[in-house]
Chains A and B, each alone.
Chain A
Amino acid sequence: MNSIAEFLANKLSKRQVVDGSHTEGWAVCNRFPHAVVSPDNETQVAQILSLASAEGWVCVPSGKGTWLKGGHPPKAVDVVINMANMDHVSAYEPDDLFITTETGLGLDILSRYALDRGQWLPFDPPGVKGGSIGATISTASAGSLQAGFGRPRDHILGVTLATGDGRLLRLGGKVVKNVAGFDLLKLAIGSWGTLGVLTSVTVRLHPAPVLDRTLLFQGTDVSSAARLANAISRSRASFAAVEMITSGEQEDKGIYSLPFVAVRILEPLPVAEEITRIICEQVHATPFMCLEGKDSQLIFDDIQTMENNAEMVLRLSLLPSKLSNLVERTKELRELVDPNVDRGIRMAAHASTGVLRIMIARLNRRKGWLEMLASSLSNLRYLLESEGGSMVISQGPPEIVEIVGARGKLGSVTELMRGLQKEFDPSSILAPERIIG
């Protein structure tokens, strides 16, 4: 055992520590930690962090470890704090529509838990379905359901945050309206583990939808599909999600052969019928398919998991009304894709937020690829930012992400962000560069 692993094993127990030579599965953006430690409770999380703070070990929290390649790479990682053991539901109040759980719980298990009781969590973050609730909140990952139900921050009532120096802060509470003091909860959501480790969370639940319906509309090309998606998202009908999807150019099977728009409606039958009618009338189009129940869900499961095997995922955004322009901008990216791989480049656009996800199956590693890729991405970011938009590298080879940056520069607010980070993590052991750059 290396010294960090040994130290931690002595403080906690051998069972809870994995030594550096067995940590490949825990690499964070290809950085191998010296130790992986699995706390059993929040006190141990706080204990680990205060130890790390004193020793200067860089810590990165992990939920289920399914997306450690995502985001901006930390400079180094000494310890991965694996939250998988902390997966207990500590309070469930169906009448008050909330659930409190430790953050290592898988979203799939949490969803099933609520569904068994007729309740539901409108979370569908991109990635595998078994990712943890903690990671979802920590990365503020939102999927297509944000169109109808809002972002994770709109559903989180409270969290416990173990700060970088090992304080346990309870932020928010369990009631739906709470303005007792500054909203540090919002600061913790989306902080990518740089302010502390989330140990428990209270989530607002919703009644489970009685009907799940998806309308599929065909687009003749990507731009027209983008325009259609935008028009639908501006209709006065209430829907749960509107996504524009393309499949990958080489592909030619079934419904995936052309770009299409998927509209999800989670309303009782008479309302769903009316929404269907309104949408068709307003966009002068008829769906080529109307799916219900499991079939409807499958379409959106696919949309949720389509990033999983991609080597690189980009999130491009402009205002939703510019979605078709945004799609046009992606033409140059095709050169970066390995043409020999099936489903070379896929796209999915959230029509109501204007975010276009680009999934590149494998990058074309011809001579000079790194420089070419870096320059194409930097140009694209520059163009989008100059129009008020953005480009995020959601996942990709760390060597590229390091050069280009997962997100654009923060500019004049960098110092303020740094100041906030320092207050929660005085010894800078939580890899602040992951969010501040």
Chain B
Amino acid sequence: MPGSLAKSLEKKLKSIVGETGVILDRDRLLAYESDGLTAYRSLPMAVVFPRDTIEVSKVLGLLSKEDIPVVPRGAGTGLSGGALADDRSVMVATSLMNRILTIDSDNRIALVQPGVINADLTEAVSPFGLYYPPDPSSQSACTLGGNVAENSGGPHCLKYGVTSRYVIGITVVTYDGTISRFGGFGRELGGYDIVGLFVGSEGCFGIATEIEVCLLPKPEGAQTLLAIFDRLEDAGKAVTTIIADGLLPAALEIIDGPTIKAVEESIYAGGYPTDAEAALVIEFDGIKAGLSADIERTTVHCREANARDISTAESEKEREVLWQGRKKAFGAMGRIAPDLLVQDATVPRSTLPDVLRRISEIGQSYKLVVANVFHAGDGNLHPNILFDRSDPDEVERVELASKEIMAVCVEAGGTITGEHGVGLDKLSYMSLVHSREELEAMQVVKRVFDPKGNMNPGKVIPDLSEDFS
């Protein structure tokens, strides 16, 4: 039945999720044509909107009987082409599964449906003095289900860790409709760490329909420092020495020259000097009594790395100004080029100066603008390549440059993705970091959850019948 959903199946799906819970017409399907990585596009056969675990189970049970592939989707902000379905597949969207089921402030845990927006959870637990630490820059839009699937990070994950540290239990519906529950706070269960394994599985094992997360008390205070550098490499050096000195900022982000220019030329201008090659935004949080000492030590490191200007902020308002350039970077870049390829890789921090230099050389050799804005403290790079999709020559250069950038990161001891996942986009790079045996091991693990290979097919694991070395 490729390309069209048989009437009888449509009727059955609607009997589960209601008349409005199934989208079939092309115009409305267009909204589901791609995720945040718009280079990949395809229209799903249909999009279905279940409201709870039971409905997901019934929907999957039905689709699996017909052998129809399933692609889960949260908010579609993913940057690796993960939530992409072709016309033989049905997309199961979690946007109606957006309820926070319980908040247990005594035990600092919450149980949520997967369609809850990341920032909404923090807002909901805020009256209890709590928050949910992983804070992807997309947090006002992305869902917790998407975060689980991608093991998302964010600026403050340097100190607090990424999603996998906070997910303590999940309910999963696998392709045949089976509902299983794993983990949970307050108990030590036998068996393997399936929660840990599921986090980062990119929708390939099943759909997370309920997620139990732990929360932290809001830090008492925060201080932010903005350091401006004439050379990007110097900013990279400052990052290395700050971390090597035993300082642990909550966030340590780099914004490079092209990004600063983009921001300053946009409505988000925050007063960063446009002739600078880099700015570091460094934030410390925690008990107020300790913050000034950390800021002072950090200032010394920045000075020693030739920072030309350093400013600090304590009040919420002042801090927002210093963060402006970082937070609005993606929005601003969208205004100076029609297309943007957000790359993602992690390298050991000490290699940052060298890797940044080599990325800049790659950009120059392909005549491309590469703008870096990234989680420097974690060594998690985002070299963003600005381009115009309508120019085939430029598209080809973007592809070649991306490939070289990935190779440089791997050569430096790093990996091909730190937080955006493999999806479709990084399939061809998987062999740079994994042996065939390791990829086969991933494949068999997927098969245990999804024997038919119909959960988000074609993602994460490259075609192993191809020859690669």
Contact = CB atoms under 8 A, between A and B. Distances in A.
A89 interface: no
B445 A187 contact: yes
Interface in A100-143: 118, 140
A229 B278 CA distance: 47
Given A180-B430, A268-B290, A413-B182, A436 B193 contact: no
Interface residues of A, number: 84
A436 B191 contact: yes
Contacts of A31: none
A437 interface: yes
Given A174-B413, A189-B193, A420 B448 contact: yes
A177 B243 contact: no
Given A177-B380, A182-B446, A236-B217, A413 B191 contact: yes
A217 to B, nearest CB: 20
A54 interface: no
A82 to B, nearest CB: 24
A184 B349 CA distance: 24
A384 B194 CA distance: 22
B161 A167 contact: no
Interface stretch (A241-249, A250-258, A332-340, A402-410): A402-410
Contact of A177 (B129, B157, B434): B157
Contact of B244 (A94, A191, A353): A94
A205 B414 CA distance: 17
Interface string B387-423: 0000000000000000000000000011111111110
Interface string B453-469: 00000001100000000
B346 A321 contact: no
Nearest to B439: A181
Interface residues of B, number: 87
A271 interface: yes
A182 B246 contact: no
Given A150-B165, A417-B192, A184 B186 contact: no
A429 interface: no
A183 B197 contact: yes
A230 to B, nearest CB: 8
B420 A186 contact: no
Contact of A181 (B187, B349, B380, B442): B442
A179 B196 contact: no
B165 A423 contact: no
Contacts, number: 241
A191 B240 contact: no
A93 B350 contact: yes
Nearest to B290: A271
A413 B165 CA distance: 22
Interface stretch (B9-17, B89-97, B136-144, B199-207): B199-207
A47 B460 CA distance: 30
A183 B163 CA distance: 13
Contacts of A169: 435, 437-438, 441
Given A183-B151, A187-B193, A392 B188 contact: yes
A416 B287 contact: no
B248 A207 contact: yes
Contacts of B199: 183, 186
A362 B191 CA distance: 29
A321 B106 contact: yes
B433 A173 contact: yes
Contacts of A234: 106, 108
A68 B96 CA distance: 50
A177 B152 CA distance: 9
A186 B197 contact: yes
A95 B293 CA distance: 21
B191 A179 contact: no
Nearest to A153: B196
Nearest to B185: A319
Which of A118, A278, A416: most chain B Cβ within 10 A?
A416
Given A274-B288, A423-B445, A424-B441, 16 more contacts: A93-B348, A93-B350, A95-B243, A96-B349, A96-B379, A173-B415, A180-B426, A183-B199, A187-B193, A384-B187, A388-B187, A407-B190, A408-B189, A413-B181, A413-B182, A416-B449
7 contacts: A178-B415, A191-B192, A319-B104, A320-B107, A353-B186, A388-B184, A420-B448
In the A-B complex, the 6 residue pairs with the smallest Cβ-Cβ separation, listed nearest first, are: A186-B196, A207-B246, A407-B190, A177-B418, A271-B290, A319-B186
